[in-house]
């Protein structure tokens, strides 16, 4: 009896896992594209140009090179059949209606002047954009619910060309896909270089029919960024820097190969954890960080605080902060996300973020510069 | 001498708010003296528990009065009441890591200090109580390692050491075996006399009550409580009234319940002594009416001399001699007498 | 009786020694290795080889250690009271839903406020500990009041227990709804809170926690006699002169206040309240609260210090959450209790 049950259990498990690993691809034979846009910095996408359509190849957000998705951007309906055979998805091009699940996606559209193509957003309370709020009030843009659990009926009703989402692991968009709405994953925040993240502007631009514009804009950002980076490399000294704060007893700080670490490196700083491996965060406890950072020059503090931040405010938040050298010498570089819009807009302005950082630690190099996001927290 | 426990026109029952009063018994007039051992008897559902709870102070009386040493029960403050009446209940205790001494010592609660520390005198009284109930040497025994009978004795010791003039027990022998039951009831009678306590025991052991109680209180549904000495109650047909049901008779003679049985045939039994008694018992049990008159039916002689034998004489004169009653019954069955 | 006395003295002496040893170990060990020399220097008010060592010992290890001792003692005492009152060996201080109440308060601040105010509070948010602590305390207190109200109205302890459990379920459900609508950083922060931590308590917090726990522990000493008598059951206890209603209320308030305060500052700490009374009974082999109550306080402190030490063993750059360690240690204890009870009483246990 037990044997039968065990075999049954194994059989069911095998069947179920086979279903889940259903990532077959349509493209049986490889056809050479006319040209390809291979991003210099971003690693998550590639754009192939075929005579009949453009193709976006989205790689697996977590680096599995055997998994990828192909989207055909179809202008000419006549080749629909062919495109369907050779791609996982065929999207209307340029898109007239799409769903943006986060505020950064709205920001992309804003940069490209294409906000009017958005027909639905999730969690509008987090989107600061005035235009979007207006349209929601008017009813021309719909609130589709939670980003992790959007309302399928509203989505179907909107008949969008696609829904743009952040990378996800389980299959909680299965219902939406089977309803015929393509889910396009924007993996920008998984890039760990600042320029890599910003380059996804090209990806969004291509989808929205403004590929060339996006490429130009990105080029400008890239140039500016590299200029500033050059300047920083010329700095005489490399100040040490650490970042993060205590929350619920844990101090999170980026690892040595991460997005923030790259900013530090490019800004001519010596990030105290730059030699650690990984692109995510380290979770440390207070002892470790105070031991390592007690004499570090600068403390980059990114927080979301409802009122103005001062040194005495910081002390109130946690008395342990006063022991850091950067606190004692009043060398905290800060951005208060509640009014700096760092998280909404900073992603697409890496050149400005970098300039802010360089200005903060190498003021002489930047001349008469006005920082946008990061400033020195002045002593009262 | 002030009566220890005195109730006057007491009514007991449950009151769930002023509107929902359920009165189980009215006009209860009983009393108990120090040194007296009384048993409360009655069929199930009679309301014995309610009366017990009222007399112990667990639930309030509905009407009338109940006084201990002249003072109304509900006028006693909590701490005072603990020194007036102690109880032993049916519930089984479930504790680990507790010795007999620990348990009995809890009976000193009304007398110990804030943390419950035992003084020298307290410890002495505890050990004395343990001895009094016949558990000498058990003081350090773990409760979980004792029999139910022994545990209940320990509970009685606890009630003893609580040093109350009145001790009320609510069916403490319910789950005990017969020897333990006997032991306990005997103990209670002894304690009432030797320690000059007034002890009220609610029980189903009619037999033991008849043998040992100074007073018996009879309680049944729909009847007023009757109290008196056992013999008077029997003769006044108290037990008949309270307990008889269809097919069950109280035999005033033997002081026990007899089950009515259809008796079809008659047999004459001749003899004396204990063999005669039990032979008649066996014949009655198997469906025969016994008589000592001669008649047109078989008869049995009990030969209680040197060779004990039962001689069965059939109507046709044939005789059979048997050594045991069982053989005799067999014989009777075989011959379809 | 005398051999028992010796055993008990030995037991207390052992616990005291363990407390001292574990206290020192907790000061001495952590994610950063500090030499014994330096530890002595810092403790005697001198300067050590690194200034950070002073911060580490005074601002992190010392408050943590004290918190662990307080929390361990307080929760253990609460567990003992709950197990005695409800005559249930599987009861713990969280059984009345008070920790869930604290969780509800925290959820309202961390999850709900974030959603309503449109601000992701956690991760980069610093509303300050006091708000979270205050909310936890209020939530716990609110549930405590609810339980006390029911306790007045209900005579039966079993029903009270059920009410407590239902309250726990209800608050979990509400928290679940809030989790559903919250951004992932907030949910993560809430989860972290739920794993428990002694290291979030600063000296300012201790100024509040220490008096509350001390009051709670003193209150429980007052309960020694009634708890001893309650073991017999409520009927016998009443007959012996114990005011059942008052006693029950006192027990609930005592355990409630201890649990509320500790949960507010440390998050819901699992298993300690449940396991320590059993461990103590095993060590001292008595049911006498005169011995058990103080013993449980010491044993609770010992176990909490031990768990805290393991959670912060050098080797992890961060620290394990407390509930992970208490679970790993507490679960086997609870299981052995169940097995032992099963063996003793058979299926009716």
**Chain C residues with CB inside 8 Å of A312's CB?**
none
pLDDT at B90 over 70: yes
Which of A93-97, B105-109, B293-297, B304-308 is modeled with the greatest confidence?
B105-109
Say if residues B325 and B310 touch (Cβ distance below 8 Å).
Answer: yes
Burial B179-198 (b: 16+ CB within 10 A, else e): ebbbbbbebbbebbeebebb
C-alpha dihedral sign at A145, A146, A148, A149: negative
Question: From CA B218, how far away is CA B214, in angstroms rounded?
Answer: 13
Assigned token pair, B276: 């005669």
CA distance C254 to chain A (A): 27
Task: Name C195's Cβ contacts closer than 8 Å, sequence gap at least 6.
Answer: C267, C321, C322, C323, C324
Report CB contact under 8 Å: C123, A317: no
What are the tens digits of pLDDT across the range B112-126?
Answer: 998 889 999 999 999
CB atoms within 10 A of CB A367: 8
Backbone angles phi, psi at B218, to 5 degrees: -105, 130
Q: Facing residues of A304 across strands?
A: C125
Indicate whether B44 and B97 sit together in one domain. Answer: yes
Q: Is the pLDDT of residue A173 over 50?
A: yes
Task: Please report how many Cα atoms fall inside a 13 Å half-sphere around the Cα of residue A89, on the Cβ side.
Answer: 24
As to burial, measured by CB atoms within 10 angstroms (0-12 exposed, 13-18 middle, 19+ buried), residue C1 is: exposed
Contact B38, B214 (CB under 8 A): yes
Asked whether residue B156 is domain-assigned, the answer is: yes
pLDDT for C124: 33
- Is residue B106 included in any domain, yes or no? yes
d(CA C134, CA C102): 9
Cβ-based neighbour number of residue B72 at 10 Å: 11
Instruction: Specify whether B74 is located in the same domain as B198.
Output: yes
User: Which 3 state secondary structure label does DSSP give C132?
Assistant: helix
Task: Confirm or reject contact between C26 and chain A (CB < 8 A).
Answer: no
What average pLDDT does range B167-177 have in this prediction?
90
**A94: cis peptide before it, omega within 30°?**
yes
Which of C236, C238, C288, C294 is the mutation pick for testing B, counting most B CBs within 10 A?
C236
Are 3 or more Cβ–Cβ pairs between A and B shorter than 8 Å? Answer: no
Are B134 and B168 a contacting pair, CB within 8 Å?
no
Q: Does B94 touch chain C (CB under 8 A)?
A: yes
CA separation for the pair C91, C88 (Å, rounded): 6
Domain ranges of chain C: 2-348
- Name the pLDDT band for A335 (thresholds 50, 70, 90): very high
For residue A205, what pLDDT is reported? 94
Tell me the range of A198-207, B231-240, C327-336 where mean pLDDT is highest. A198-207
User: What is the gyration radius of the CA atoms in chain A, in angstroms?
Assistant: 24
**Cα(A291)–Cα(C269) distance, integer angstroms:** 28
Does A170 touch chain C if contact means CB atoms closer than 8 Å?
no
Q: Are B133 and B160 in contact (CB under 8 A)?
A: yes
> pLDDT exceeding 90 applies to what percent of chain A?
50
A and C adjacent (3 or more CB pairs under 8 angstroms) = yes
Examine the domain organization and report whether B307 and B164 are in the same domain. Answer: no
Please indicate if any CB of chain C lies within 8 Å of the CB of B87.
yes
Is the confidence at residue B19, as pLDDT, over 80?
Answer: no
Q: Other C-beta atoms within 10 Å of A352: how many?
A: 19
Contact B87 C233 (CB under 8 A): no
Q: For tokens 């008598």, name the residue.
A: C229
Name the residue range of residue B295's domain.
265-334
Task: Say if residue B164 is in the same domain as residue B75.
Answer: yes
Query: For the residues of A37-66, what is the DSSP string, one character each?
Result: E--SS--SEEEEE-SSEEEEEEEPTT--TT
Tell me, what DSSP letter sits at residue A75?
A: S
Residues of B in contact with C222 (CB under 8 A): 114
Per-residue burial over B88-107, b = 16 or more CB atoms within 10 Å of its CB, e = otherwise: bbeeebeeebbbbbbbbbbb
Gap between the Cα atoms of C318 and A288, Å rounded: 8
Q: Which residues, other chains included, contact B100 with Cβ-Cβ below 8 Å and sequence gap of 6+?
A: B130, B135, B138, B139, B140, B141, B143, B146, B154, B157
Cβ B109–C240 below 8 Å, yes or no? Answer: yes
Report CA torsion sign: A65, A66, A67, A73: positive
CA–CA min distance C317, chain B (Å): 45
Q: Which residues of C touch B58 (CB under 8 A)?
A: 235, 238-239
Q: Considering only CB atoms, which chain A residues are within 8 Å of C180?
A: 146, 149
- Which residues make beta-bridge pairs with B12? B25
* pLDDT of the residue at A221: 95
Asked whether residue B107 falls in the same domain as residue B43, the answer is yes
Question: Given this model, what pLDDT does residue C349 score?
Answer: 36
Q: Average pLDDT in the A171-199 region? A: 87
Q: Is the dihedral of CA C110, C116, C117, C123 positive or negative?
A: positive
- Residues 298-317 on C with a CB inside 8 Å of A are 312, 317
In sequence order, what E strands does chain A have?
Answer: 35-37, 45-49, 53-59, 68-74, 89-92, 98-100, 118-121, 142-143, 162-165, 183-185, 240-243, 246-247, 250-254, 270-271, 281-284, 298-303, 332-336, 375-376
Number of CB pairs, chain B paired with chain C, less than 8 A apart: 70
Q: What is the pLDDT along chain C (349 residues), one digit of tens a residue?
A: 556 778 889 999 999 999 999 999 999 888 788 888 888 888 888 887 888 888 888 888 899 999 999 999 999 999 999 999 888 888 889 888 888 888 898 888 877 765 544 444 443 333 455 677 788 888 888 888 888 888 887 777 788 888 888 888 998 899 999 888 887 777 888 888 888 888 888 888 899 899 999 999 999 999 999 999 998 988 999 999 999 989 999 999 999 999 999 998 898 998 899 999 998 988 888 888 999 999 999 999 999 999 999 888 766 666 778 898 998 888 888 788 778 766 766 544 3
The pLDDT of residue B123: 94
Q: Is residue B193 part of a domain?
A: yes
**By CB neighbour count within 10 A (0-12 exposed, 13-18 middle, 19+ buried), where does B321 fall?**
middle
Strand, helix or coil for residue B99: strand
Q: Which of C225, C232, C238 sits opposite B115 (nearest CB)?
A: C225
**C228/B116 touch (CB, cutoff 8 Å), yes or no:** yes
The verdict on B200 and B324 lying in the same domain is no
- How many residue contacts between A and C have a Cβ separation below 8 Å? 108
Token couple for B149: 């009978």
Chain C contact for B85 (CB, 8 A cutoff) = yes
What is the distance between the alpha carbons of residues C143 and A91, in angstroms, rounded to a whole number?
Answer: 54
Question: Is B166 inside any structural domain?
Answer: yes
User: Where does a domain end: B189, B216, B248?
Assistant: B248
Residues C85 and C18: their CA atoms lie apart, in Å, by 29
Average pLDDT over residues A325-343: 90
- Do residue B97 and residue C285 have CB atoms under 8 angstroms apart? yes
For residues B128 and B93, state if they share a domain.
Answer: yes
Q: Nearest by CB to B93, from C222, C232, C240: name it.
A: C232
Which residues of C fall within a CB distance of 8 Å from A377? none
Domains in chain B, number = 2
pLDDT at A241 over 70: yes
CB C70 within 8 A of CB C213: yes
In contact, A165 and A190? CB cutoff 8 Å: no
Residue B25 is predicted with a pLDDT of 87
Residue A288 near residue C33 (C-beta atoms within 8 A): no
**What is the side-by-side strand order in the sheet with A281-284?**
A246-247, A250-254, A281-284
- What residues in C contact A252, CB-CB < 8 Å? 123
Which of C55, C109, C268, C322 to mutate to test binding with chain A, by most A CBs within 10 Å of its CB? C55
Q: Does B107 touch chain C (CB under 8 A)?
A: yes
Given an 8 Å threshold on Cβ–Cβ distance, is B162 in contact with C240? yes
pLDDT confidence of residue A26: 53
B128-143: average pLDDT: 92
Q: Which of A127, A285, A320 to mutate to test the interface with C (most CBs of C within 10 A)?
A: A285
C32 touching A, CB under 8 A?
A: yes
Specify the CATH number of the domain A232-376: 3.40.50.1980
Q: Given C228, C233, C287, which is nearest B97 (Cβ)?
A: C287
What is the structure's pLDDT at A29? 60
Contact A57, A70 (CB under 8 A): yes
Nearest to A241 by CA among A194, A302, A195: A302
- Does residue B90 form part of some domain? yes
Residue of B nearest to C224 (CA): B115
Contact predicate C47/C284, CB 8 Å:
no
User: Which residues of chain A make contact with C50, given a CB cutoff of 8 A?
Assistant: 291, 294
Q: Are B167 and B147 in contact (CB under 8 A)?
A: no
Q: For residue A86, how many other CB atoms are within 10 A of its CB?
A: 22
CATH topology of domain A25-219: Rossmann fold (3.40.50)
Domain boundary among B248, B278, B312: B248
Inform me whether the C-beta atom of residue A222 falls under 8 Å from chain C C-beta atoms.
Answer: no
In this structure, is residue B70 part of a structural domain?
Answer: yes
Put simply, whether B254 touches C (Cβ < 8 Å) is no
Q: For A285-320, how does the pLDDT look when each residue is reduced to its tens digit (9 = 90+)?
A: 888 999 999 999 999 999 888 888 899 889 888 888
Residue reference for tokens 């005997």: B186
Residues in A closer than 8 angstroms to C110, CB to CB, are none
Average pLDDT over residues B82-102: 88
Which of C277, C270, C308 is CA-nearest to residue C295?
C277
The 10s digit of each residue's pLDDT in B41-50 is 988 878 898 9
Whole-angstrom CA distances from B130 to A1, B87, B100, B194 are 58, 16, 8, 15
Instruction: Using CA atoms of A336, A341, A346, A352 in order, give the dihedral in degrees to the nearest 10.
Output: -70
pLDDT at C130: 60
Give the whole-angstrom CA distance, residue A152 versus residue A173. 9
Q: Which among C230, A291, C239 is positioned nearest to B89, based on CA atoms?
A: C239
Query: Would you say C265 and C201 are in contact if contact means Cβ atoms under 8 Å apart?
Result: yes
Question: What's the pLDDT score for residue B80?
Answer: 93
HEC sequence for C86-104: CCCCCCCHHHHCHHHHHHH
Q: Looking at domain C2-348, which CATH architecture does it have?
A: Orthogonal Bundle (1.10)
3-state SS of A229-268 is HHHHHCCCCCCEEEECCEECCEEEEECCCCHHHHHHHHCC
Q: Give the pLDDT of residue C113.
A: 66
Chains meeting C at 3+ CB pairs closer than 8 A? A, B
Which residues of C lie closer than 8 Å to B, measured between beta carbons?
1, 87, 221-222, 224-225, 228-229, 231-233, 235-236, 238-243, 281, 285-288, 290, 344
Among chain A residues, the shortest Cα distance to C50 is held by A291
What local confidence, expressed as pLDDT, does residue B246 receive?
62
Q: Are residues B215 and B307 in the same domain?
A: no
Q: Given an 8 Å threshold on Cβ–Cβ distance, is A306 in contact with C30?
A: no
Phi and psi for B120 in degrees, rounded to 5? -60, -45
Chains that touch B (3 or more CB pairs under 8 A): C
Q: How many CB atoms lie within 10 A of CB A116?
A: 13
Mean pLDDT of A214-226: 95
**Are the beta carbons of C202 and A302 separated by less than 8 Å?**
no
- Residue B225 shares a structural domain with residue B276: no
Please report the pLDDT score of residue B131 as a whole number: 94
- Structure confidence at residue C189 (pLDDT): 80
Which residues of C, range 86-115, sit inside 8 Å of A by Cβ? Answer: 115
Q: What is the pLDDT of residue C348?
A: 43
Which chains neighbour A (Cβ–Cβ under 8 Å, 3 or more pairs)?
C
ipTM of the complex: 0.83
CA-wise closest residue to B51 among B91, B7, B13, B8? B13
Contact B311, B272 (CB under 8 A): no
């Amino acid at each position: 009896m037990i044997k039968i049950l065990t075999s049954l259990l194994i059989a069911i498990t095998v069947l179920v896992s086979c279903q889940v690993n259903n990532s077959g691809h349509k493209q049986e034979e490889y056809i050479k594209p006319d040209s390809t846009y291979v991003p210099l910095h971003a690693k998550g996408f590639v754009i192939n140009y075929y005579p009949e359509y453009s193709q976006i190849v989205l790689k697996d957000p977590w680096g599995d090179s055997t998994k990828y998705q192909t989207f055909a951007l179809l202008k000419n309906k006549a080749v629909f059949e062919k495109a369907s055979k050779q791609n996982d998805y065929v999207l209307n091009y340029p898109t007239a209606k799409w769903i943006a699940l986060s505020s950064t996606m709205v920001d992309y559209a804003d940069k490209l002047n294409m906000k009017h193509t958005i027909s639905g957003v999730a969690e509008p309370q987090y989107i600061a954009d005035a235009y979007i709020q207006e349209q929601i009030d008017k009813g021309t843009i719909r609130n589709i619910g939670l980003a992790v659990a959007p309302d399928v009926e509203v989505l179907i009703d909107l008949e969008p060309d696609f829904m743009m989402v952040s990378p996800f692991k389980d299959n909680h968009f299965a219902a939406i896909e089977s309803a015929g709405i393509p889910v396009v994953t924007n993996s920008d925040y998984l890039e760990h270089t600042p320029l890599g993240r910003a380059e996804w502007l090209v990806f969004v631009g291509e989808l929205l029919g403004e590929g060339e514009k996006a490429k130009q804009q990105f080029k400008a950002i890239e140039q500016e960024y590299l200029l500033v980076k050059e300047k920083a490399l010329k700095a005489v000294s490399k100040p040490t820097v650490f970042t993060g704060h205590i929350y619920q007893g844990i101090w999170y700080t980026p690892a040595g190969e991460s997005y923030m670490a790259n900013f530090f490196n490019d800004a001519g700083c010596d990030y105290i954890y730059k030699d650690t491996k990984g692109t995510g965060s380290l979770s440390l406890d207070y002892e470790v960080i105070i031991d390592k950072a007690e004499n570090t020059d600068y403390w980059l503090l990114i927080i979301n605080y409802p009122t103005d931040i001062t040194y005495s405010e910081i002390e109130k938040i946690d008395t342990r902060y006063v022991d850091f050298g950067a606190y004692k010498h009043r060398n905290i570089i800060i951005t208060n996300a509640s009014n700096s819009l760092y998280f909404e807009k900073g992603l697409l302005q890496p050149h400005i973020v970098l300039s802010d950082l360089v200005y903060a630690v190498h003021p002489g190099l930047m001349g008469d510069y006005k920082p946008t996001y990061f400033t020195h927290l002045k002593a009262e | 001498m002030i009566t220890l426990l005195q109730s006057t026109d007491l009514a007991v029952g449950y009151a769930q708010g002023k509107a929902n009063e359920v009165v189980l018994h009215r006009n209860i007039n009983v009393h108990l003296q120090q040194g007296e051992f009384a048993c409360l008897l009655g069929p199930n559902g009679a309301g014995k528990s309610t009366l017990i709870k009222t007399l112990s102070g667990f639930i309030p009386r509905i009407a009338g009065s109940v006084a201990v040493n002249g003072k109304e029960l509900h006028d006693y403050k909590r701490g005072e009441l603990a020194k007036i009446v102690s109880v032993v209940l049916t519930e089984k205790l479930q504790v680990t890591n507790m010795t007999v001494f620990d348990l009995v010592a809890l009976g000193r609660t009304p007398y110990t200090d804030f943390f419950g520390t035992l003084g020298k005198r307290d410890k002495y009284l505890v050990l004395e109580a343990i001895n009094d109930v016949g558990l000498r040497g058990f003081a350090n025994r773990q409760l979980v390692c004792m029999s139910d009978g022994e545990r209940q004795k320990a509970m009685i010791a606890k009630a003893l050491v609580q040093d109350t003039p009145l001790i009320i027990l609510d069916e403490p022998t319910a789950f005990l075996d017969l020897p333990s039951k006997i032991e306990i009831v005997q103990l209670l009678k002894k304690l009432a006399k030797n320690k000059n306590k007034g002890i009220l025991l609610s029980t189903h052991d009619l037999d033991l009550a008849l043998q040992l109680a100074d007073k018996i209180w009879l309680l049944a549904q729909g009847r007023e409580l009757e109290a008196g000495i056992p013999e008077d109650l029997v003769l006044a047909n108290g037990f008949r009234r309270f307990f008889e049901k269809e097919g069950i008779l109280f035999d005033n003679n033997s002081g026990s319940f007899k089950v009515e049985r259809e008796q079809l045939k008659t047999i004459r039994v001749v003899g004396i002594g204990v063999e005669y008694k039990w032979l008649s018992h066996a014949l009655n049990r198997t469906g025969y009416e016994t008589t000592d008159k001669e008649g047109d039916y078989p008869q049995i002689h009990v030969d209680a001399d040197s060779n004990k034998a039962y001689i069965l004489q059939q109507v046709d004169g044939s005789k059979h001699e048997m050594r045991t009653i069982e053989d005799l019954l067999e014989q009777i069955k075989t011959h379809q007498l | 009786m005398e051999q028992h006395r010796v055993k008990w003295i030995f037991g207390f002496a052992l616990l005291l020694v363990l407390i001292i040893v574990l206290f020192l170990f907790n000061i001495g060990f952590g994610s950063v290795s500090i030499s014994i020399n330096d530890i002595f220097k810092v403790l005697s008010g001198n300067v050590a080889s690194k200034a950070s060592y002073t911060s580490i010992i005074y601002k992190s290890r010392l408050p943590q250690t004290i918190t662990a001792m307080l929390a361990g003692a307080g929760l253990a005492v609460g567990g003992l009271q709950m197990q005695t009152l409800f005559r249930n060996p599987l009861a713990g201080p969280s059984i009345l839903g008070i920790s869930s109440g604290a969780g509800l308060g925290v959820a309202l601040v961390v999850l709900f406020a974030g959603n309503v105010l449109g601000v992701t509070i956690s991760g980069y948010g610093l509303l300050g500990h006091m708000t979270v602590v205050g909310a936890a305390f209020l939530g716990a207190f609110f549930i405590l009041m609810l339980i006390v109200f029911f306790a007045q109205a209900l005579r039966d302890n079993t029903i009270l227990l059920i009410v407590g459990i239902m309250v726990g379920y209800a608050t979990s459900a509400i928290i679940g709804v809030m989790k559903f609508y919250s951004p992932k950083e907030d949910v993560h922060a809430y989860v972290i809170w739920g794993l428990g931590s002694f290291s979030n308590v600063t000296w300012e917090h201790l100024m509040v926690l220490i008096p509350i726990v001390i009051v709670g522990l003193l209150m429980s000493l007052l309960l020694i006699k009634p708890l001893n008598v309650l073991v017999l059951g409520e009927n016998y206890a009443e007959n012996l002169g114990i005011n059942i209603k008052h006693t029950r209320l006192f027990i609930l308030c005592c355990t409630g206040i201890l649990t509320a305060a500790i949960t507010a500052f440390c998050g819901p700490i699992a298993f300690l309240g449940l396991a320590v009374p059993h461990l103590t009974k095993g060590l001292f082999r008595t049911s006498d609260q005169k011995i058990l109550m103080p013993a449980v306080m010491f044993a609770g402190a010992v176990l909490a210090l031990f768990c805290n030490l393991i959670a912060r063993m050098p080797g992890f750059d961060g620290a394990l959450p407390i509930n992970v360690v208490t679970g790993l240690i507490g679960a086997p204890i609870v299981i052995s209790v169940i097995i032992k009870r099963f063996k003793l009483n058979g299926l009716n246990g």
